Structure 1
Amino acid sequence: MSEPAAFRQEGGAEPPPRIIVGISGASGAVYGVRALDQLKAAGIETHLIVTRSAHLTLAQELDMRPAEVAERASVCHNVQDIGASISSGSFRTLGMLIAPCSIRTMSEIASGVTSSLMSRAADVVLKERRKLVLMLRETPLHLGHLRTMTSLAEMGAILMPPVPAFYAKPRSLDEMVDHSVGRALDLFGIDSGKVERWKGMSADREASLKPGGGAS
C-alpha cells in the first residue's frame, strides 16, 4: 500500500503507514481487537494504547489477557508513558482510531486536558490535522454528551458509533463487527476487504416496490 506523498521524509526515505489504535474501557473491546487484526492484514504498522479500564473490559468480554492484545500490535505503549513517540506531532501517522471510545475518553479529548497517553496522542492528531476517529459506545445520550460530540466535530474529529449495517445481511456477530471496523478504516483510506459494499437495490427488490408490485 503506497503512503501519501505528505508522509515522505527528506532524502527520499519513507516511514511505513502507521495508525494509532486506542482501546478504552467502554463495552465493545472486540472493535479494537478486530481493528488491530484488520490493520495487520493490510500491512499497516499499529501503535496500541490500552487504558486500565480497558484491560478489565477485555477480560470480561473476550477473556483476553494484556499480553494477548499487545501481541496483535506492532508497538504497544503504556497509557502513562507521556514521553512515547506518538506523543509528538513529529512522529507521523495516518491518524488515530479509538475503538471503543468511552464517554470519559471522549470528554478528556474534548477538554484538551491530556492526562494520559491516550488523550495526548488524540490531541496531537487533532493539532496536526490528521484523522481522529472515535467509535463511541454509549446510549442513550444526554445533552452534555451531545454538546461534547459537537465540540469534537468542530475540532475535526469524526464521531462514528459502531452502528450495524443491516443492508449487508450479516449472518453473525463477527460479520457485524468486521463490517463496522472496516467502515472505520475506510475513513483512513484503508480497504480491509471486510466491508460488504452497497451495490444498489436488486432488480427484484425494485420491482416489488413499484405500485402494484406487492410491497406492503
Structure 2
Amino acid sequence: MDKMFKLLQENSEVATFLIATSFTAIGFVLKTLIDTFLENRKYKKEVKKQFWTEKLAAAKKTSEFYYEHLELIGLMIHQIDIQLEQGFSGALHESIQSTINKLSERNINPKSFEHHHIHMFYDVDTELFNNLNTESFVLIQQMENIEFLESDTPAEIDKKLDEVKRLLADLKTKHKKKKNTYKAYLKKIREDIKDFAK
C-alpha cells in the first residue's frame, strides 16, 4: 500500500487521472440511480393519472346515462300528475308516449356503451336498476291500457282513476328507489374523488 501511495506521489498525472476517474464513476452510478428513481416515480404518476382519467370518464358517462334515464321517467311521472289534476281522459297523453318511446330507444340502442366502463372501478348493481326499470315499464304499460271512455259511468271512471293513482304511486316508489340508489353510488364516487384530491 505504501509503494502504491509513493508511486502516486511521484506520478501526479496518474493520481489525478485515478481520482478523476473514481469520482466520474461514482457520479455516473449516482446519476443512474437518481434517474431510475425519478423515472419510476414519473411512470407511477403517469399510470395513476391515466387510471384516474379513465375512472372519472367512466363515472361521468355512467352518471349522465342514469341521470338522463331518471329525469325522463321523472318527467313522465310529473306529466301524469298534471294530467290527473286536469281530468284524465282517453289514453295516455302523446308526450307521455313520446317519453316512453325515448326510454325504450335509450335502453335498446344507447348512444354509447361507455357507461359500462364503470364496472372496472365500482361494483354497480345494474341488475337492481334493470329490475326497477322492468317493473316501471310494466306499471307504465298497465297505465297505458287504462282507457277512459265516454260511455263509462262515474263509478267506472272513479275505479279507473283509482287504478291509475295506485299504479302511479307504485311508479313513484320505484323511481324514488332508483334515484336513491343512483345518489348512493354518486356519493361513493364523490368520496373517492375527494380522497384522491387530498
Superposition TM-score, scaled by structure 1 size = 0.22
Q: Between the two structures, name the one with larger relative contact order (CA 8 Å, sep ≥ 6).
A: 2
Bigger radius of gyration, 1 or 2? 2
Normalized per residue, which structure has more strand? 1
